[in-house]
């Protein structure tokens, strides 16, 4: 991985976005215009140098006519469904991301708190399992 990259999930997201853009036969400039995102910023996202917000991902998904949820999963914002318990967790995450009454910072704070509660509960379950 090249120096300065922000993470594997972001790098994979960038590769996926570029692939989707090429499939849609759009230039970087055309997609940036359609999504309302600057050309240099979109280029940095595609190269894995920037982690886009959920709002930017939603704009890009709309411009590419693909699922925003798919991009959230690729970006590591939403966990992929792993059975019925993960579906409800994903629903909470998606509801937070879709709420127009929250700022991006508020959305991220809520997602962080939610994730920390889930991690605490899983740790407590493991301790309880070890005791039995």
Instruction: Map out the domains of the chain as residue ranges.
Output: 8-75, 84-131
pTM passes above 0.75: no
User: Quick one: average pLDDT of 8-17?
Assistant: 81
* Closest to 104 measured CA to CA, from 45, 51, 40: 51
Would you state the pLDDT for residue 3?
Answer: 42
For the 8-75 domain, the top CATH level (class) is mainly alpha
103-107 average pLDDT score: 81
- Give the pLDDT score at 90: 59
Q: What is the mean pLDDT of the chain?
A: 82
* For residue 101, pLDDT beyond 90: no
Per residue in 29-46, pLDDT tens? 999 999 999 999 999 999
């Amino acid at each position: 991985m090249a120096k300065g990259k922000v993470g594997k999930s972001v790098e994979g997201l960038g590769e996926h976005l570029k692939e989707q853009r090429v499939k849609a036969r759009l230039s970087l400039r055309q997609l940036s215009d359609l999504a309302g995102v600057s050309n240099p910023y979109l280029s940095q996202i595609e190269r894995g140098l920037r982690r886009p917000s959920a709002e930017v991902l939603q704009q890009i998904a709309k411009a590419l006519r693909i699922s925003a949820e798919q991009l959230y999963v690729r970006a590591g914002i939403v966990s992929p469904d792993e059975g019925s318990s993960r579906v409800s967790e994903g629903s909470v995450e998606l509801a937070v991301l879709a709420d127009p009454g929250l700022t991006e910072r508020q959305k991220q704070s809520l997602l962080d708190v939610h994730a920390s509660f889930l991690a605490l509960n899983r740790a407590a379950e493991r301790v309880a399992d070890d005791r039995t």
